[in-house]
Amino acid sequence: MNDDPTRPSGTALSRRKLLGLAGAATGGLVVGGVVGTTVARADTNDDSNTGTPDRSGDVVAFHGTHQAGIATAAQDRLLFASFDITSNRRSDVEELLRSWTEASVRLTAGAPVGPGAGLVAPPTDTGEAVGLSPARLTLTFGFGPSLFVDPSNGDRFGLARRRPAALVDIPPFARDELEPAVSGGDICVQACGDDPQVLFHAIRNLTRIGRGTVVLRWSQEGFGRTSSTTSKQTTPRNLMGFKDGTANIRAGSSTFDRDVWVASDDDPSWMRNGSYLVARRIRILIETWDRSSLDDQQLTIGRQRTSGAALGAKDEFDAVDLRAHGADGTLAIPADAHIRVANQDANKIHILRRGYNFTDGVDARTGQLDAGLFFLACQRDPRRQFIPLQARLAKQDALNEYIKHVGSAIFAIPPGVKTRDGYIGEGLFA
Amino acid sequence: MNDDPTRPSGTALSRRKLLGLAGAATGGLVVGGVVGTTVARADTNDDSNTGTPDRSGDVVAFHGTHQAGIATAAQDRLLFASFDITSNRRSDVEELLRSWTEASVRLTAGAPVGPGAGLVAPPTDTGEAVGLSPARLTLTFGFGPSLFVDPSNGDRFGLARRRPAALVDIPPFARDELEPAVSGGDICVQACGDDPQVLFHAIRNLTRIGRGTVVLRWSQEGFGRTSSTTSKQTTPRNLMGFKDGTANIRAGSSTFDRDVWVASDDDPSWMRNGSYLVARRIRILIETWDRSSLDDQQLTIGRQRTSGAALGAKDEFDAVDLRAHGADGTLAIPADAHIRVANQDANKIHILRRGYNFTDGVDARTGQLDAGLFFLACQRDPRRQFIPLQARLAKQDALNEYIKHVGSAIFAIPPGVKTRDGYIGEGLFA
């Protein structure tokens, strides 16, 4: 990232929020320079955003048919932010989305969020990503049910009739212990990338641009595979010590295209090529899990811990045989094993899981580690996918003894921005 | 990390806690195998632990004159854990330190924390680091003042007369807003490495080994440079957007050797080749900072934001001229600028700073980002180093307008373990 905040430079951005924020104290913007070049790099449009970084290896294109950060190969780190809208004016929300789109084009290209503002104004960009790589940053935006109908404020934006039928309120499930402080939100931004400082920088600057229109409601950091120290080929492990994601659907497959993206004949039309994201903060009861035997752990999951193979199978990617029996005549994969209850083929339900492990220190109430899985899943219609699947898991999954769902949110992820003057969610506001 | 929890293997470890924990259900240990080889690699003793990883590039030797994690080149990530001792028996503490030492030898070499325990016992190792690199993991142990004299429990371990004079209670400073929940502790473990999952695995397993003797009091995650996406040569930036560490002392310098390590004629003798660690959780008032002008920010720090050069100088590493005056006749670096008040040469006080940036989501009370610097500093004697320096900063530093010290702790870091049958802190218990 290149930046000299004392010298304005950059492409001819709309100056709305950016200069409002910077005080508009300095002179005109000049086109070109290093920043312009960098931004242009991201405009080498990867129309599908299937996760292949561009030539430079550390930029994922922002523009495309779909938003990046879904089919994109999972990056190492997550910073997920959920915002509440504090304005009651529809035009403020629309303007925010325009400003966030412009900022995102720059941020994902590794450029500062806006041009310099001179000495006498606050810097447009907060500066902590100067010198850092774009780190495969993706910024994925979504709309919560409360954007359309606010529980306390009704149809404040005149969007109620445009709410997608698939954007239901997540129903309560058995065993839910949800905390409102880490649930819900009007708008989400999922920041993924390989450097936590780049993610912090992005969310901080988007929050700053949104001041007066949105406030941060909650956020969640997460970690997964670390590219620099992990072999890329292996399935990452969750904090239970088991490989997680062996049976996940893969970008580019027909299942993915059918079950993740909103189809061309789905309604509403503004959601086509979008998706629906469900987030669940799932705390692992680490101490309880750690006291159970390896046998119990393996029977709970339905897989062998070390190899990742399904019980009764030999290798991680061997087909899962739900009918296999052990020598003693019992089912190799017990009736309540996680991979049986969650089995996507048997359930004919497929979702894209794209979650991250998290640890948030010590739970002051219990003195235990607050750690687990920040589950993120994308799908075409949560009414047919996440909701029936989770209803089943909440009732039958042996894993429930060791986990607790404490946060929950759902967002409609609109399609990608295809043109340079487009913006995230433009179809909704058109 | 290689692991087959169903098949015991590994070097001939003392089996104290490890097998107690695993239920001692399986047969004898066998020497050799993959784990043995891996552990042996760490025994290629880097006597000084000056941070050069061994041949494999991802292992920092555990054994040495000094503990690793101080002179070691800063890794990308931090997980700092502070424990309270729940036992009143001195032998429990000693045994814990032996067990933690054994576990640390294995963990830092990328091996599981202990041999497999079979199907019917809980796995000795929790498994989430299987397949991951050792990621330059270092584990650095320290003793807080309350290990020697507990405020509510007196001289419970008979160690009061062995308390180092330099291990003072940190006095209150002007503007402190300390929260007991993130301050103090009887024993600390500083885990540093390049992969957050490796750090979590280490602290989790040490916590587990310590069950019955210690409980986790607080922990802190942090991030710094990301090796895979950052040029190693540049000074990392803090969350204020400024380069942080330009004037830090360097491992291998005579200043470092004189001012970081407890010297061979310092008392008590068991602390020689050790150090004293001060931890401060310093929250940055992000929103306030972000509203101040670039000029204000630069005058507050005393450096230029982009280049990192001191005001009045040209390049980051140019000498800092505290007497330089600007064209208008005022001091280039104002009287209350951070780098003037903190200037180590002018103060004749040198400390090794080895802190990490942190972000812990949203402060529920204010809706603002809870983010800042987890300041860690090592020194030979905090009475002559951190304490007078911080007393000065607390009174005069312009930066105080934008930061808040909310956590504080001090620990005596005993010397390294030099022999295979030695353990951390053995000099204290001898």
CA distance B384 to chain A (A): 32
- Who among A194, A298, A369 is closest to B226 (CB)? A194
Helix, strand, coil percent values for chain B (each to nearest 5): 25, 20, 55
- Who among A219, A238, A361 is closest to B362 (CB)? A219
CA distance B107 to B114: 9
CA distance A230 to A225: 6
- Assessment of whether the complete model's pTM goes beyond 0.80: yes
Q: Do A306 and B234 touch (CB under 8 A)?
A: no
- Who among B121, B241, B371 is closest to A127 (CB)? B241
Contacts of B192 in chain A (CB under 8 A): none
Q: Do A237 and B131 touch (CB under 8 A)?
A: yes
Contacts of B197 in chain A (CB under 8 A): 223-224, 226, 237, 357
pLDDT in the model for residue A5:
35
CA distance A28 to A6: 13
Residue B63 CB partners (closer than 8 Å, separation 6+):
B42, B43, B45, B46, B105, B416, B417, B418, B419, B420
Could you list the pLDDT tens digit for every one of the 430 residues in chain B? 544 333 333 333 333 344 334 333 333 333 233 333 333 333 333 334 444 444 367 999 999 999 999 999 999 999 999 999 999 999 999 999 999 999 999 999 999 999 889 999 999 999 999 999 999 999 999 999 999 998 888 999 999 999 999 999 999 999 999 999 999 999 999 999 999 999 999 999 999 999 999 999 999 999 998 887 776 668 999 999 999 999 899 998 999 999 999 999 999 999 999 999 999 999 999 999 999 999 999 999 999 999 999 999 999 999 999 999 988 999 999 999 999 999 988 878 899 999 999 999 888 788 888 999 999 999 999 999 999 999 999 999 999 999 999 999 999 999 999 999 999 999 999 8
Q: Do B306 and A117 touch (CB under 8 A)?
A: no
When the pLDDT of each residue in chain A is averaged and rounded to a whole number, the result is: 87
| 3-state class (DSSP) for residue A51 | coil
CA distance A168 to chain B (A): 26
Q: Tell me, yes or no, if A217 comes closer than 8 A to chain B by beta carbon.
A: yes
| 3-state class (DSSP) for residue B350 | coil
- A273-302 residues touching B, CB cutoff 8 A: 286, 290-295, 297-298
Q: How far is CA B419 from CA A209, B105, B270, in A?
A: 56, 11, 15
Contact by Cβ (8 Å): A222, A74 = no
Q: What is the mean pLDDT of residues A279-301?
A: 97
User: ipTM score here?
Assistant: 0.89
- Who among A290, A295, A305 is closest to B120 (CB)? A295
Q: Do A122 and B221 touch (CB under 8 A)?
A: no
Q: Tell me, yes or no, if B95 comes closer than 8 A to chain A by beta carbon.
A: no
Q: Tell me, yes or no, if A197 comes closer than 8 A to chain B by beta carbon.
A: yes
Contacts of B122 in chain A (CB under 8 A): 290-294
Q: How far is CA B77 from CA A226, A235, A366, B81, in A?
A: 11, 22, 26, 13
Q: Do B204 and A369 touch (CB under 8 A)?
A: yes
Q: Tell me, yes or no, if A126 comes closer than 8 A to chain B by beta carbon.
A: yes
pLDDT over threshold 90, residue A278: yes
Q: Do B229 and A132 touch (CB under 8 A)?
A: yes
What are B349's two structure tokens? 């006080």
- Who among B133, B293, B357 is closest to A120 (CB)? B293
Q: Do A226 and B293 touch (CB under 8 A)?
A: no
Residue B145, φ and ψ in degrees, nearest 5: -55, -35
- How do residues A343-401 score in pLDDT, each as one tens digit? 988 878 899 999 999 999 888 788 888 999 999 999 999 999 999 999 999 999 999 99
Question: What pLDDT band is residue A232 in, cutting at 50, 70 and 90?
Answer: low
CA distance B118 to B131: 20
CA distance A417 to A397: 39
- Who among A76, A132, A357 is closest to B230 (CB)? A132
Contacts of A6 in chain B (CB under 8 A): 294, 306
Q: Do A357 and B195 touch (CB under 8 A)?
A: no
pLDDT in the model for residue B11:
34
pLDDT over threshold 80, residue A304: yes
CA distance B276 to B421: 24
CA distance A270 to chain B (A): 32
pLDDT in the model for residue B3:
42
Q: Tell me, yes or no, if A366 comes closer than 8 A to chain B by beta carbon.
A: no
